[in-house]
Structure 1
């Protein structure tokens, strides 16, 4: 065992964190807004001060949104075509607008859930006690030439 203090590795409650994030609220307190604007995650919660800058949602929410929209849209498209036989232009316009609106509605919800998941699992620096910046960084000494 090394001589340094270990940080807590227990997970936080997942379901409340996911729900708070999906409601676009801070996963820690559920009170402060998670986003500044449409998709920009705030650096800190206005209510509890939780550092949210550690989140690394990246492309995950976009991929999951595309997956959900396409899996919802494809069977619906087939069912409407079989039942009503609308024109190609009507289907193109209707399902195109539907996919855009559904994607825009789901993207912040899914991104909030991703941030909540990362917070609950203490991923990417979401631990209780981050290492102090005052601690020295240990580097290998390079011999002088």
Structure 2
């Protein structure tokens, strides 16, 4: 089928469910975070998808802010010993990061598809390098 035969889908819905951004049925990821080569249902090539470290950065930042607010509220109200933070708070923060990372990566890939993301192409306009008058 051609690409225009697929209706536009909600990027948040397909991203959270980690589904193909074009058909909404095929799985986007294989394993925990590895993007498939193509959709097994509509055969969309996922080579355009390269969120790199974006999901990890945004998830760690968001969970860090929320986690630190919860950490401080817990610390100031209960005053637990440090070992309680090591046993409770640290694993809880790691669990929060890992649980949000996969859907966030799916959402970023869906957004890349909708906005037709492509690798950057650089082209010289002749204002530097050979021929420069700054020698």
**Structure 1 equivalent of residue 99 of structure 2:** 105
| Offset of residue 69 of structure 1 | 1.0
- TM-score normalised by length of structure 1: 0.73
- Are the aligned partners of 1:17 and 1:28 in contact in 2 as well (CA < 8 Å)? no
Confirm or deny: 8 A CA contact 1:41 1:53 kept in the other structure.
no
Q: What is the CA–CA distance in structure 1 between the aligned matches of 2:12 and 2:115, rounded to whole Å?
A: 11
> What is the root-mean-square deviation in Å for CA atoms of aligned residues?
1.6
How many residues in Structure 1 have an aligned counterpart in Structure 2? 113
> Which consecutive unaligned segments of at least 5 residues does structure 1 have?
1-11, 126-145
Give 3-state SS (helix, strand or coil) of 2:30's partner.
coil
> Superposed, which structure 2 residues align to 1:1-145 within 5 Å?
13=8, 16-124=10-118
Using the alignment, how far apart are the partners of 2:115 and 2:38 within structure 1?
18
Q: Secondary structure at the match of 1:73?
A: helix
| Per-residue Cα deviation, 1:81-130 (whole angstroms, up to 9, x for no partner) | 122111111012211101111111111111101100100101117xxxxx
TM-score relative to the length of structure 2: 0.78
Give the distance between the partners of 2:56 and 2:109, measured in 1 at CA: 13
SS of equivalent residue, structure 1 residue 123: coil
Q: Distance in 2 between matches of 1:77 and 1:121?
A: 37
Distance in 2 between the 1:31 and 1:51 partners? 14
Contact 1:57 1:115 in 2 (8 A): yes
Question: What 5-or-longer segments of structure 2 have no aligned partner?
Answer: 1-6, 120-135
